[in-house]
Amino acid sequence: MTIEQIANKHGFATVTKCADTSRGIKSAYCCDLLSWVMSHGTADMALITIHTHMNVIAIAALLEMSCIIIPENIEIEESVINKADEEGICILKSQKSAYEISGLLFADGILPAVK
Amino acid sequence: MEELRVNEYNLKDIYTIEAGNFVTAGEASSNIKTLLKRLGVNSSKLRNIAIASYEAEINLVIHSKGGQMELLVSPNEVIIKIDDIGPGIENIELAMKEGYSTAPDSIRVMGFGAGMGLSNMRNNADDFKIESKLGEGTHICMKFNI
Ligand SMILES: Nc1ncnc2c1ncn2[C@@H]1O[C@H](COP(=O)(O)OP(=O)(O)O)[C@@H](O)[C@H]1O
Ligand SMILES: [Mg+2]
């Protein structure tokens, strides 16, 4: 599924302004420990995390992730959104918890990355 | 630390890493990755290099007083050397242990301090060497076969 399809289906808001939402999501990972994200992250992955600082964007970009999904409508600073747009990493935001978002994506057939 | 004969390397680049600067943290690793991608390094090796270089870079930002990362590229290997100006690591064996971290709470709330950085470097590099002296600094050399 694409970022756009996921966002529309579950009512996730697209926070970034120009990052490509037609990009596919091939896997997902939910974690707030960044070294774990680093070692488990792969290309075209959706990352579900509560962190909204600059370094999450840097990590997602380095690993060529597809998008970042922020749960519970956590505030995201404008500078971080701009950085994500610059790096071409889409940020989605939802009212739902990380647990609920994970469940929705899993039910959509987006599975953990195969190592 | 093993002396490298730099003139055998076709490409050399140096990046300065500033202590405590979380805004620019990751830029060196990002530049290294962009450069190596352009040189045609395959994507799975690029991922290994990106993980290892980011962990080294973020450690300099979090734990050191600053330092530099040096990139050396030859036709069959990539070398990343990381040197900081202190404070050094007292017990390397302990620091290498997965889960061991001295990161303060202010860093942990950002998601850092899982204590996996050094092992992520060792697991992703084809060769990993670390030397450190308390009061002096830490020196890491990672080699990747390409
Ligand atoms: N460049 C460095 N300078 C000083 N201490 C360091 C450096 N790199 C790592 N350390 C020490 O080693 C520990 C483990 O590092 P690491 O495995 O990257 O985990 P983390 O960064 O999550 O704490 C750090 O908590 C710190 O005490
Ligand atoms: Mg670390």
Give A20-79 pLDDT, tens digit per residue. Answer: 999 999 999 999 999 999 999 999 999 999 999 999 999 999 999 999 999 999 999 999
- State residue B2's pLDDT score: 47
Asked if residue B25 is part of any domain, the answer here is yes
Asked if residue A113 is part of any domain, the answer here is no
Give B61-77 pLDDT, tens digit per residue. Answer: 999 999 999 999 999 99
Asked if residue A112 is part of any domain, the answer here is no
Q: Is the CB of B88 inside 8 Å of chain A's CB atoms? A: no
- State residue B6's pLDDT score: 47
Give B86-133 pLDDT, tens digit per residue. Answer: 999 999 999 999 999 999 999 999 999 999 999 999 999 999 999 999
Query: What is the CATH classification number for the domain harbouring A8?
Result: 3.40.1390.20
Is any ligand 1 atom within 6 A of the Cβ of residue B118?
yes
Model confidence at B5: pLDDT above 70: no
- Pocket test residue of B69, B101, B116, B123 for ligand 1, highest count of atoms within 8 A of CB: B101
Query: What is the CATH classification number for the domain harbouring B53?
Result: 3.30.565.10
Asked if residue B120 is part of any domain, the answer here is yes
Range of the domain at B79: 8-145
Asked if residue A114 is part of any domain, the answer here is no
The tokens 């609920």 sit on which residue? A100
d(CA B127, CA B144): 7
Does B111 sit within 8 Å of A37, measured CB to CB? yes
- State residue A114's pLDDT score: 87
d(CA A60, CA A102): 18
Confidence class of residue A97 from pLDDT cuts 50, 70 and 90? Answer: very high
Nearest bound ligand to the CA of residue B95: 1
Burial label for B45, CB within 10 Å (0-12, 13-18, 19+), is middle
Is any ligand 1 atom within 6 A of the Cβ of residue B56?
no
Nearest bound ligand to the CA of residue B87: 1
Confidence class of residue A115 from pLDDT cuts 50, 70 and 90? Answer: confident
Q: How does DSSP assign A47-61, residue by residue? A: EE-S--SHHHHHHHH
Nearest bound ligand to the CA of residue B120: 1
Number of domains, chain A: 1
Residue A58, token pair as written in the block: 């840097």
Number of domains, chain B: 1
Q: Is the CB of B97 inside 8 Å of chain A's CB atoms? A: no
Range of the domain at A12: 3-107
A66: DSSP letter: S
To the nearest whole Å, the CA of B119 is away from the closest chain A CA by 10
Q: In Å, what is the CA distance from A80 to each residue of A72, A89, B91, B106?
A: 17, 11, 36, 19
d(CA B52, CA B5): 23
To the nearest whole Å, the CA of A55 is away from the closest chain B CA by 7
Is any ligand 1 atom within 6 A of the Cβ of residue B102?
yes
For the whole model, what pTM was predicted?
0.95
Is any ligand 1 atom within 6 A of the Cβ of residue B95?
yes
Between the CA of B63 and the centroid of ligand 1 the distance, in Å, is: 6
Total beta-carbon pairs less than 8 A apart between chain A and chain B:
67
Residue A42 near residue A27, CB atoms below 8 Å:
yes
Is any ligand 1 atom within 6 A of the Cβ of residue B117?
yes
